[in-house]
Structure 1
Amino acid sequence: MTEAPYSGQPAQILTTISDLVPPGSAGVSPIFDPDSIDWSVDWMTAMRRAVRSAEQLRLLLGLPLEEGVGEAGPRPAFSTFVPLEFLRRIQPGDPLDPLLRQVLPSADEAIEYPGFVSDPVGDMESLAAGGLIHKYDGRVLLIASGACAVHCRYCFRREFPYSEAGSRREHWKPAIGYIRSNDDVHEVILSGGDPLTLVDENLFELLDQIDRIEHVRRIRIHSRLPIVIPQRITSAFCEKLKGLNSHVWFVVHANHANELDDACLNRLSMLSDSGIPVLNQSVLLGGVNDDEDSLVEFLERLVDHRITPYYLHQLDRVRGTKHFEVPIEKGLLLMSQIRSRLPGYAVPTYVTEHAGESSKTPL
């Protein structure tokens, strides 16, 4: 992983041990054999053995190589990174698989379009101190780590300069100082990257520093890791969250029902059983979840497992993602359709974000 040399975990977590693809050609049969994989490994080992190239991903799934898409993807600064735990949920041989579309680099990413920019939501304009983003009243967002457990091709922070602007362990002091000196900040959001790519020792240290600030009443953790590598959620992690004085809210990120396998849902249940509210936010993505039946199946699967649908985001217009964009008119129609089929608590708020605005904008 190239975007997080500072992210606070031992170097070996970010060093591949993958030796999964023997010589051969794609397009005949998938090479990946789930039955040959040890699924009992810890999350750090899962990070180390992740797939790290478009070629490798295609070979494992029995797909032909795409001309013009190199080992690091069409944008070298945003490489391929897909853990085996996520790979096993992708249908081999299906180039239209909705999970594959989220993680497989495409030549479309190299096409420039007007209005698609490096920082569509104005993160850089709102940097306050040491990776701390202060956009909205009463809450701040701390970029706790630049590393992710999966590289989503639509990521709105795919060009965020983590090494220069992100927070890191040795630079937490300015961020903590800023929070401490602003007593109108009642909620701290840990984001990234992904805060759960911090090893427990460092993550718990950060949580304790925030928890000791008297006017902070809530800590919100935004993470895709429990979806991608479910074993990141452990009993020790749940006990830590239960023991904090601040109220903890946990927001995961999934977009399609196929992401929510039993391993994922069982680990999320550990959070719910610990008294931690679990919410989900999604992005409306062309070719992934932009049809009524897919959304209904997905939202029902969430609420059937005590996960509250929170936001459905209109795509943030970061460079290289135009091929994922769904027209707002279609998004509004989809919202009307799912609202007619589901109870209100199962319907997320459809929102967009504009740089400089005081909140997300409901659509």
Structure 2
Amino acid sequence: MSDSVRSSAELLAHLGLNTHRITSIRQPAFAYKAPQHFITRITPNNPHDPLLKQILPVPDELITAPDFVSDPVGDFQNNPQPSLIHKYHGRVLLIASPKCDIHCRYCFRRHFPYEAHANQRHWQAALQTIAADNSLHEVILSGGDPMSLSEAALLKLSQQIEEIDHIRTLRIHSRTPVVAPQQAAQTQWLEWVKRSRLNLVIVVHCNHANELSPESAHLFQIYRQANITLLNQSVLLKAVNDSLEALNALSHKLFAQGVLPYYLHQLDKVQGAIHFEVSNQEALQLHQALRASLPGYLVPKLVREIAGEPYKTPL
């Protein structure tokens, strides 16, 4: 990802926004990063673009509130060993990479101590723990972003998971197919997928229809030809997608590209993201309107993740 933009000043200049009254944090605590492909989906000279709002560090990130914390979903308390998070029955999450191709400003793991908890040197111990637990049937690769791994690393990890007899499903959560589809077109890994005994699921993360491109459509077609199940999860974000029009367009465009809407998350209350919050009442009204305007298979489940609960909580 050598073409990634790593300066908000560079981004604003590129989009013709340096003359607008936009205040950004030049050196935010959570570093700025965005790939060129995602930036090309942003409308130039539009300070209100919904994609721009997701990646631009702004002073509102410095607002604090008692219920906005560093670990809003209880990752730390369910982290039995480095790289492994075990919250839900039958499935376990492996933090495969500490890196992402994009730094979303609402990221619930923006404070996660990746240096100590996400490294390939931890894989072997994590896989041994998974192999010793017959109650598990699914491994979820997360991060960071698993698709930010080199193809060789992703292939090796996938093959090692396949060797565990009681694991039937490999699920990958990734934003890369949307924000940098060229990075996610991993040929050798896809050839392995076609031969694998595992059920492969990719849950992509797309919040707005404008993020989807001809390149993402082509990539999803390749994934479907490899018999990968494609789902999407979104986060409900103020001034980004908190309208019936935006959510309707997102569901329709996802389906047109072969992806089913899966979850619409209420914002995880992570420190630094309070300006993205949509109230539960507004979220429920939006979801009800969405149910009235879409067929059921295009309506994502409205949920919130609550630390300590055994599953995502429907609203």
| Residue identity opposite 2:136 in structure 1 | V
Of 196, 204, 207 in structure 2, the residue corresponding to residue 252 of structure 1 is 204
Structure 1 residue identity aligned to 2:121: E
1:152-231 correspondence runs (5 A): 152-166=104-118, 168-231=119-182
Aligned residue for 1:251, secondary structure, equals strand
Q: Work out which of the residue numbers 256, 259, 276 in structure 2 matches 1:304.
A: 256
Structure 1 residue 235, shift from structure 2 partner: 3.4
2:271 aligns with: 319
1:284 to 214, 233, 236: 236
3-state DSSP class of the match of 2:107? Answer: coil
Root-mean-square deviation (CA), in Å? 1.2
Cα deviations by residue, 1:246-299 (Å, 9 ceiling, x for unpaired) = 111111000000001111111111101211110000000001100001110110
Instruction: Figure out how many residues of one structure are paired with residues of the other and give that number.
Output: 313
Tell me the CA shift for residue 242 of structure 1.
1.8
TM-score computed with the length of structure 2 as normaliser? 0.97
Letter in 2 for 1:207: S
Question: Residue 11 of structure 2 aligns with which residue?
Answer: 57
Indicate conservation of the 8 Å contact 1:55/1:70, yes or no: no
Equivalent residue letter for 1:194: D
Structure 2: gaps (5+ residues): none
Q: Which moved more, 1:241-250 or 1:137-146?
A: 241-250
* Long gaps (5+) in structure 1: 1-46
Deviates more, 1:300-309 or 1:98-107: 300-309
Whole-angstrom CA distance in 2 between matches of 1:125 and 1:258: 36
- Which letter maps to 1:201? A
Q: Distance in 2 between matches of 1:145 and 1:302?
A: 26
Distance (whole Å) between structure 2 residues aligned to residue 99 and residue 165 of structure 1: 30
Matched-pair contact (CA < 8 Å) for 1:129–1:178: no
Q: Cα deviations across residues 58-114 of structure 1 (Å, max 9, x unaligned)?
A: 1111113768644333x2xx1110111000000111111000000011010011112
Q: Aligned with 2:140: secondary structure?
A: strand
Deviates more, 1:231-240 or 1:209-218: 231-240
Q: Is the 8 A contact 2:25 2:58 kept in 1?
A: no
Q: Where in structure 2 are the equivalents of 1:1-363 lying within 5 Å? A: 47-64=1-18, 69-73=24-28, 75=29, 78-166=30-118, 168-231=119-182, 232-363=184-315
Q: Distance in 2 between matches of 1:354 and 1:210?
A: 28
Once residues 111 and 31 of structure 2 are traced to their aligned partners in structure 1, the CA distance between those partners, rounded to angstroms, is 11
What's the TM-score, normalizing by structure 1? 0.84
Higher alpha-carbon deviation: 61-70 or 151-160? 61-70
- Indicate how the Cα distance of structure 1 residues 343 and 158 shifts in structure 2: closer, same or farther if over 3 A, else same: same
Residues 212-250 of structure 1: CA distance to partner in whole angstroms, max 9, x if unpaired?
000001000111001011112243332222222211111
Q: Verify the 8 A CA contact 2:64 2:272 in the aligned structure 1.
A: yes
SS at match of 1:149: coil
Distance between the aligned counterparts of 2:81 and 2:261, measured in 1? 31
